Amino acid sequence: MTPVPRSISSARTTRGDFRRPDSTMFGIGLAVLGFVAFVATAIGPVGDTGLDDDPPVPTGSGTVNAPGPDADGDEPPRAARPKPIPILDCRDLRLDLDADQREALATVGLSRCAMPFGVLLAADDRMPASYLELAAAVLAEMLDQNRDGAPDDAALVALLQDRDVAWLAMPTDRRDWERRQLPRLERVLGYDIVIPAWWLDVRPDGPDARGRAVTVEEIHHFITQFGLSRLHPEVFGVEDWTSVIARETARAKCVFWQHPENDCPGRPAEIPGDCSDPNCDVVEFFQQVVVLRAGMKPGWRGIGFPETPAALEPLLSPEFKAALDDPAYHQLRSPLRFDYPVDSTGRTARSETPDERR
């Protein structure tokens, strides 16, 4: 099940001039989903992913901290609930897609789209609906953590909306994706961050903790590399080792962090590959730190990486923690709820007419 590395150095530069990292594809990658020995001995059971404790869902009269009535007996206004994110046929004209992008997605069988705040997420027709709904909800929640229906950082979202630079894909068949679907889509879309069925370990009863952890990781990678890194390169840059998060990764390397594809003195890599460049190593380290500090459990842990927030916190530098805790950067500070509203009932497409295509 180990994902076959896609050649990076020979890959074309995307339309946004981003190159694929000199490693296997981003993500839960190689270790968790394909290397059973590493999962068992180095990162703990896969079933230990997701939230430390599922957050309670407020219901009925027993809701914790429910708003009390005003002096005149009227309840104060409640916070606005965000509108559900629609999942539509990618040919639906309500979606902000170019005609050639609609055609390419439909042609290769990625015809179900969600665009939370204008950010493209497209799924293979064979991907179970519950997994697409989860990914749409996670993307929306990470961009709208206060759940007011508007992105927390409009400038960040504006970068992520640029489909010529990057987008999110949910393929189901690795051979079909690499040989047929991706070559066609690369002509009209930028870099693909994938949340694929072969990493999700798709189950008939819907996403489990592993599926949630994979989804969170890949979406976090997408936001980091193609949003935060471009918006705040001095803090979140991943193209070299000069940013705050890159320097922290270098400081942690071979001390309390080792990617399983990378060598450390006296501790060689455990699986084939190379994740030594910052656009791989920094992105992986940063995701695990953010997820663990937020009270969730990463889908896998780097070699030597702490298992609890309490063990991690004293190992991090004051500069790094100050950046993560700065509200201006909207980093995750609490577990995701995985319940951002999604509407999958509007799949009927309003497709382009022949006149509109012309």
Q: pLDDT for 47-76, tens place per residue?
A: 333 333 443 333 232 322 233 333 344 444
Asked if residues 44 and 304 have their Cβ atoms less than 8 Å apart, the reply is no
Distance CA 275, CA 253 (A): 12
**Three-class SS state of 200:** helix
132 contacts 88 by C-beta, under 8 angstroms: no
180 pairs with which residues across the strands? none
**pLDDT for the residue 81:** 82
Domains of the chain, by residue range, sit at 29-48+88-336
> What SS3 class is residue 125?
coil
Structure tokens at 186: 């690369």
Nearest to 337 by CA among 83, 131, 61, 51: 51
Distance of alpha carbon 211 from alpha carbon 196, whole angstroms: 10
Which pLDDT score, from 0 to 100, does residue 155 have? 99
The predicted pLDDT at position 5 comes to 31
CA triple 296-299-301, angle to 5 deg: 95
pLDDT (0 to 100) of residue 346: 67
Q: Where are the alpha helices (DSSP H) in the chain?
A: 29-34, 36-38, 99-108, 129-143, 154-160, 174-176, 182-185, 197-200, 209-223, 229-231, 233-236, 244-252, 278-293, 309-312, 318-325, 354-357
Question: What is the predicted pLDDT for the residue at 280?
Answer: 97
What is the model's pLDDT at position 207? 97
The model's pTM? 0.79
> Which residue ranges of the chain lie beneath pLDDT 70?
1-80, 346-358
Length in residues, the chain:
358
What per-residue confidence (pLDDT) applies to 45? Answer: 33
Query: Quick one: pLDDT at residue 345?
Result: 84
Q: Could you give phi then psi for residue 112, rounded to 5 degrees?
A: -110, 125
Half-sphere exposure at residue 260, Cβ-oriented, CA atoms within 13 angstroms = 24
